[in-house]
Structure 1
Amino acid sequence: MASISAARLEKMFRMLPNVDASSIKGNLSAEENQINANIFAFYVSGKGGPTPIQNPFGRSVGEHLQITELTVTEEGASGRLEIEVTEDMCNVFGTMHGACGAYIIDHATIGTMVLYGRAAGFDGRGVSTSMNIHWHNPANLGDILAVFTESVHIDNRARTVRCEIRDKETRKLIITGTHSFLNAGAAAKL
């Protein structure tokens, strides 16, 4: 796998269709929020951009994830997303399936690192090396979940992002997790 330069990624990202990013809060410009929302939409839906996969795994869930806040500092990045628990996210008992929680953590944490990479001028994509997930309470059909992410460690080779998923209304903790990955170029050299 060849590493893609930051300039080439930027060109690819600008080819993506626009999604509504007007309500995203944080410390980025409206233009940066728009680009980052478009990138996230591409990764979860396969829409737009140069990809042979038009219906990737989990698309129905990914398309319901809504970015509500993006923040970048010199040290890292953080984000907030929201999603309503729908029937296609649940097990037979009407609670969110464990694999769905892992999917949300995966995309939310990678999205945070892609966000930081764009701001810092590097390719923020990566190959997962570990994902630790702890379930604290069930999320029920119809619940609105708030997903919080924050970068923990970033260097030239490895990155770690933490994630917390809470019930938006009650603030009840649903899931916590950390996701570690290698940058795409370092992973290709293994």
Structure 2
Amino acid sequence: MRDPPSTAVYAPHIHPATLPNDPEVDITCIAGNAPTHIKRLTCNTLLAHGFGTDPTAFGYHVGRAIRFVEMSIERNIDRADRLEATTIAEVTVTKHMLNGAGMLHGGCVTYLIDICCSTPLIVLGLFLSTNGIGVTQAMNVLFHAPSPLDSQLRIASTSISLGGRVMTSRCEIIDKGTGRPVASAFLNKMQPRQAKL
């Protein structure tokens, strides 16, 4: 695996090349034209900062249930001078994701969006030698339909902008069995400023 270009500025604790490989992810199962090392570094970043390695941590089991099936980088259709990254993830709704009514909990939907909608920014940042990792600043979520136990969900996320301080992406969650939209969202992330001493 090769390191991301040295021009990217990361805090030492989040540099993707310093993170351990996620042993549960088989990169060869992820389609798309993103380079293999970028797929690997993106998955490593999610393991370290998205859901972690502690099974008692918040969201660990939900995060571990997510499987990325595609990571791609393409020219923007409307602006050929811009690149955009797309990631597609899949997850099955399990019992620990449900609310009291037996449907996918809105908080769990938001967590899935926060994880999955961050990935095209990470992919594009690695590809462009810039930091695509940040902290969530804002999220606008629209809930369209409930998802019962055992629903197969497809989460398609696309980068919109990757600025030096603020980044934006969007995603749609679709029920694979019915084709029905479950939720859609816009996610803003930001690079926190280092405190000056």
TM-score range, shorter chain: 0.7 to 0.9
Task: State how many pairs are aligned.
Answer: 180
- Partner residue, 2:40: 34
- Unaligned runs of 5+ residues in structure 1 are 48-52
1:9 partnered with 2:15: yes
Stretch moving more, 17-26 or 92-101: 17-26
TM-score, normalised to structure 1, is 0.84
Distance 1:172 1:58, change over 3 A: same
How far apart are 1:58 and its partner, in Å? 0.6
How far apart are 1:4 and its partner, in Å? 2.8
The CA distance in 2 between the partners of 1:118 and 1:107, in whole Å, is 17
Matches within 5 A, 1:1-190: 4-5=10-11, 9-13=15-19, 15-18=20-23, 19-47=25-53, 55-73=56-74, 74-185=82-193
The CA distance in 1 between the partners of 2:110 and 2:171, in whole Å, is 10
How far apart are 1:54 and its partner, in Å? 6.7
- Partner residue, 2:4: none
Percent identical across equivalent pairs?
26
Structure 1 residues 32-63: Cα deviation after superposition (integer angstroms, max 9, x where no partner) = 3233223223333313xxxxx67432111000
Query: SS of 1:25's equivalent?
Result: coil
The amino acid across from 1:29 in the alignment is P
The amino acid across from 1:132 in the alignment is N
TM-score, normalised to structure 2, is 0.82
Stretch moving more, 17-26 or 33-42: 33-42
How far apart are 1:116 and its partner, in Å? 1.2
The CA distance in 1 between the partners of 2:151 and 2:65, in whole Å, is 13
- The alignment yields a C-alpha RMSD, in angstroms, of 2.3
How far apart are 1:68 and its partner, in Å? 0.5
Query: Contact between 1:161 and 1:178, CA under 8 Å: does it hold in 2?
Result: yes
